Amino acid sequence: MNNMNQNNGMQKRMLIMTVVVFVFFIAYEFLVLKPQQEAKAAQAKVEQTTQENSAPDVKTSTTQMVSTDVNGNPIDMSNQVAALSPKTIASSQIVSVIKTAKNIIEIDTLGRVAQVTLTQEKYKDEDLNQIKLFEVNQLRPLEVRFADANLNAEAFKVATVASSANIDATSNVQELVLTQTLSNTVLTKKFTIYPDGHYDLKVSSTNNQQFFITNGYRPNVLADMYAVHGFIAKLNDSTLETIEDGDLDKNKDIIGAKFISSFDRYYTSLIYNFEKSLSVSLMPDSNSDVQAFVHGGSNISFSGFMGPKNHRDLEALNPELIDVIDYGWFTFIAKPMFLLLQFIQSYVGNWGWTIVILTILIKLVLYPLSYKGMVSMQKLKDLAPKMKDIQAKYKDDKQKQSMHMMELYKKHGANPMGGCLPLILQIPVFFAIYRVLLNAIELKGAPWMLWVHDLAEMDPYFVLPILMGASMYLQQKITPNTMQDEMQKKIFQMLPIIFTFFFLWFPAGLTLYWFVNNVFTISQQYYINKMFERKRAEKQKAE
């Protein structure tokens, strides 16, 4: 059996490891990833961008070609983009504009989706402009590539003709036909567009010309290290295959997919067919991000959607599409937790108070574990003088020291790991709710109290982060601490300040959860402390 020093050492190492990993997790985002993302965005404005315009035949090598206009001339991105937003598409490139009740879809001269603008009031960026999903230099949704290399090269030089320059599908289902007439085939895309923003699409080519069609590169609105972003496919056996950005190092085929989705934290570009499965080839781009191409043969039909990963909207299209929302490792806990969150919200009507209620419910469910951990820490605190005496008496005989320690634990019903194990068991629940609140687009534009106007954004006045830090400090003060090492004590005393600093930029909904969680942890700890004080007082009277 391990002696007290070993047990305490193990407990402290586990706690320190958890804290260090968490701090590194947050610090890496703000000190490394954010500067890299900003530098990359700035570079995209002044550098010419290249794309792989060859068909995704995994048996042949692909060729790099500069982006071209319909006349075959290279597009000088440095001149265009420098003066415009990286998400602004020149009007000369647009052949049709589709308006639905929820978005505006712009179709470019090559029959691709050039841009999707979300028109609902809550979908605004930091400059209060309506959110646009795609960058001009990304692989665009519904781009077609032919297996015939010569035909494919021609297709990037011939303009598509639209049946209508403007489509109003805000209240009724509408149709749009795009036709591209090439020397050896006619490519036709027939859209059925619905007011909710999704579409059905039939694509065909004459003369049996084989083609591929893509759902495009993921939306580039919010991609950070906190949430998963990249590509996900649901296979016929209902398993999910997720490939995060930067993880695809070679071509890969997927046979039998129900849907494919390229996604960032809140938004998706989605192709699905639940009647006839999709065959898909994945190709890495220069950053090892996924480029997905559906095998179209010479004729294919499917449905698609480009927009927010709103649970109810996806479920309305097809219940299986809720799997587009990826919560990472703890999805199996996070999904039912979100359903509970949504259920509570349907009665409460406010997402902020819903988070408060959910946090209280979680604390009540986990109370038995928390109680055991807190009681164990109090017992160890009470036994500290006796443990110190044993360590001093048997400092030269570790075996006897360990034996007498275990006798002491057994006599008083103490467990040296009792304070740590309940904490470890609660970690999956914590990370599940963390992922839920981080990925829930439903919080976008949701207000709480007077000063929080958007629970998906940071608290504009830092009230919640400061309250969270203060509650963390108070929790630390009233929690028994058996640490002997002064350096470790100082590190833990600094944690409320460190966490407050990083939580300044966290979504207000997540900070609210952590603050309420701290408040109820303090209440529980206060109750346990008072209970032990009464027991000590009764024991002293009895003596």
| Through-space distance between the first and last CA atoms of the chain, rounded to whole angstroms | 33
What is the model's pLDDT at position 7? 45
Other C-beta atoms closer than 10 Å to the C-beta of 322 total 18
The residue with greater pLDDT, 133 or 376, is: 133
Largest CA distance in the chain: 103
Exposure class string for 137-169: b at 16+ Cβ within 10 A, else e? bbbbbbbbbbbbeebbbbbbebbbebeeeebeb
pLDDT above 90 (res 228): no
Question: By percentage, how much of the chain surpasses pLDDT 70?
Answer: 78
Burial classification of residue 469, based on how many CB atoms lie within 10 Å of its CB (0-12 exposed, 13-18 middle, 19 or more buried): buried
The SS3 call for residue 433 is helix
Round the average pLDDT of the chain to a whole number and report it.
81
Question: By percentage, how much of the chain surpasses pLDDT 90?
Answer: 49
What is the model's pLDDT at position 73? 44
Domain boundaries, the chain: 4-9+335-542, 47-326
pLDDT (tens digit, 9 = 90+) per residue, 437-471? 888 899 988 999 889 999 988 899 999 999 999 99
- Nearest-5° Cα angle at 123, 112 to 316: 75
The residue with greater pLDDT, 241 or 38, is: 241
pLDDT (tens digit, 9 = 90+) per residue, 151-201? 999 999 999 999 999 999 999 999 999 999 999 999 999 999 999 999 999
Lowest-confidence segment of 153-167, 231-245, 472-486 by average pLDDT: 472-486
Query: Residue 408: which pLDDT band, with cuts at 50, 70 and 90?
Result: confident
What is the model's pLDDT at position 172? 96
CA–CA distance, 59 with 253 (Å, rounded to integer): 11
| CATH of span 47-326 | 2.70.98
Task: Supply the Cα-derived Rg of the chain in whole angstroms.
Answer: 29
pLDDT above 70 (res 19): no
CA–CA distance, 303 with 157 (Å, rounded to integer): 27
CA–CA distance, 130 with 128 (Å, rounded to integer): 7
- Of residues 114, 94, 116, the one with CA closest to residue 105: 116
What is the model's pLDDT at position 376? 72
Question: Under the phi-then-psi rule, with left for phi > 0, alpha for psi from -120 to 50, and beta for the rest, what region is 483?
Answer: beta
DSSP state string for 95-144: EEEEEESSEEEEEETTSSEEEEEE-STT-B-TTSPBPB---TTSPPTT-E
3-state helix, strand, coil split of the chain in percent (to 5) is: 45, 25, 30
Query: Residue 63: which pLDDT band, with cuts at 50, 70 and 90?
Result: very low
pLDDT above 50 (res 394): yes
Query: Residue 126: which pLDDT band, with cuts at 50, 70 and 90?
Result: confident
What's the distance, CA 287 to chain centroid?
19
pLDDT (tens digit, 9 = 90+) per residue, 82-108? 334 567 777 889 999 999 999 999 999
The pLDDT of 416-420, averaged and rounded, is 61
What's the distance, CA 388 to chain centroid?
47
Structure tokens at 168: 């109003």
pLDDT (tens digit, 9 = 90+) per residue, 518-532? 998 898 888 888 887
pLDDT above 90 (res 324): yes
